[in-house]
A and B are shown apart, each in its own frame.
Chain A
Amino acid sequence: MEITVLAFGIAKDIFGAQSIQLQTDGVTIGNVKAILEQQYPQLKELASYMIAVNDEYADADTVIQPGDEIAIIPPVSGG
């Protein structure tokens, strides 16, 4: 399955783009994180980061469906 991952803040700098396409055989957010970290090792240097699926924070065993909006959420710093 091909998925699009949106990037914000420092993740946008790490990807060098506002979004990237990933090819994945896995279907969970844990799988996506593993692929992302392999392709972009700088992600592992962040204080932390989360993945959101359709505007909600998701955990590692969340299953992705085709058409889901996936976004990488580096440490937030609003306010």
Chain B
Amino acid sequence: MIDIQLSTEPLDISHCINLVQSPECGGIDVFIGTVRSQTKGKQVVQLEFEAYERMAVKEMRKIAEEAMSKWPVHKIAVHHRTGVLQIGEVPVVIAVSAAHRDAAFHACRYIIDTLKQTVPIWKKEVFEDGEVWVSAHP
């Protein structure tokens, strides 16, 4: 089971965990991304996330399917938020359940690492004195 969501509403962490819960599983690994207050010592006011929605959902599903083929995991939920987020808010939740923890840890790590490389979602950091699209320039 794979559950992918892109949402402008606050993400529900417990819901993600419930989605992957299963009696056959011995553990659930969860990654929760949170908005950090500083970048390279500079105070961040807020973040803005934008997505190429249809492609982002498709790419997130591809990554989850790859994770399922690489490791014996049972269920995967990947929920990503778009719009304006304040410090401490949650842009991404990844929950993975598996019979044994090793597979869940590996798959969860793979999903967040690959998501950051390939999923068409962009983050703009807004500072007191300007704003910047993250990773846009070398």
Contacts and interface: CB of A to CB of B under 8 A. Distances in A.
Interface residues of B, number: 29
A45 B52 contact: no
B33 A79 contact: yes
A9 B92 contact: no
Contacts, number: 80
A47 B133 contact: no
Contacts of A79: 33, 80, 91-92, 112, 115-116, 119, 121
B52 A52 contact: yes
Q: Chain A: interface residue count, which band?
A: 20 to 34
A78 B135 contact: no
Given A9-B136, A55-B58, A77 B121 contact: yes
A75 B55 CA distance: 15
A71 B55 contact: yes
A55 B133 contact: no
A78 B4 CA distance: 15
A61 B116 CA distance: 26
B135 A75 contact: yes
A74 B50 CA distance: 12
Contacts of B137: 45-47
Interface of A: 6, 8-10, 13, 45-47, 52, 55-57, 71, 73-79
